[in-house]
Every structure is written in C-alpha cells, then in structure tokens.
Amino acid sequence: VKLLFPILIGLSGLYFLSSLSNYLSNLIKGKLDIVIFKELSSKIFSTVQLASLSELQQYKTGDLQSRTMTNVETIAQVITTTIPQIVIASLGFILPFVIMFSLEPKLALIVISPVVLFIIFSWYFGNKIKNSQRPALDSSAGLQSFLKEAYSIIPIVKVFALEEWMNRRYERQMLKYYNSSFQFVKISS
C-alpha cells in the first residue's frame, strides 16, 4: 500500500513524458514534411515555369500536377518516415549482432545466416517494387491528367453528346490505373 502511490506517480510521469515525446516527434515530423514539400514543390514549379514550350509539350497537365504534388509528398514521407525507421531498425538489428559476436562468434554466425537470406529477398523484392512503382505513378498521373482535361471540356462534350465516348475513355484510363496500382500492391505486399 505504501508503494502504490509512488508507483502511480511514476507511471503517470512516464505516461506524460511518453505523450510529450510523441507530440514533439509528430510536431517536428509534420513541420519537416511541410518544409520539404514547400521547397521541392517550389523548385518543380519554378523549373516548369522556366522550361521551354517544346519541353513542356511532352507532358500532360496531370503529369506535371502529379509530379508537383503527389510525388513530392511521397519524397517527403520517405525522408521523414522511411529513412528514420530504417536507421532505428538498423541500429536495433546491428547492435545485438555486435554484442553476440563479441560474446560468442560461432553462435552469432549461426543466428545471422537467416539474415543473409532476408537481405537477398529484400534486394530481390525491392527491385521488383521499384520496377512496378513507375507504371503505377505514371498511370496515376495519366488519370489525373485525363480528369483535369475531361472536366475542363464538359461544355464541348455536352454540345456534341460525347458523354458515352468520354465514359469509355475514362474506363480505359481507370483500368490502366487499377491494373498497374494493383500490381504494385501485390508486389509490395
């Protein structure tokens, strides 16, 4: 009974520190996401504005929009989420092996052998994921571009009664997006 009150105070203090740490971590990560997004988007927008017309004609509006928004958000997430997770996981992975090798090298080699297989599989599937991500990003940009252009010409579509034709074009674009995105999801899963 004597220890109950100090234990409750200690647990409350730990919970408070954990919550404060989580809040500060999310705040810093969120601000970094926004700063990275702002800087990279500005650079891309400026580059597009300064590009020649002949260079710009090879891209659809949706492609440029996707590269300015969606791709930059992905890059920011990699920098603020994926890289820190890799560093933390690596430290949590390497440190125990250093300790094991210093205590019992033969046993450490036996334990590390599955890690070699994991690295080989990670490299193999990492390349597959990278190769399947490009078509998924391209089809997403194509769909966004199609939607932007389709919505901007609605009056013309109505005047010439081309609704069914536009619906078929949309379905083709959506099918490309669906197939490439689902392929990416299958491989990354």
Per-residue pLDDT of the chain (189 residues), as tens digits, is 688 889 999 999 999 999 999 999 999 999 999 999 999 999 999 998 899 988 888 887 777 887 788 888 889 989 999 999 999 988 888 888 899 999 999 988 888 888 888 889 888 988 888 888 889 888 888 888 888 888 889 999 999 999 999 999 999 999 999 999 998 888 887
- Rg of the chain over Cα atoms, rounded to whole angstroms, equals 25
What does the pLDDT read at residue 125?
Answer: 87
Distances (CA, A) of 17 to 6, 81, 85: 16, 22, 21
- Give which of 150, 139, 145, 127 is closest to 174, Cα–Cα: 139
| Three-class DSSP labels, 169-183 | HHHHHHHHHHHHHHH
104 φ, ψ to 5°? -150, 90
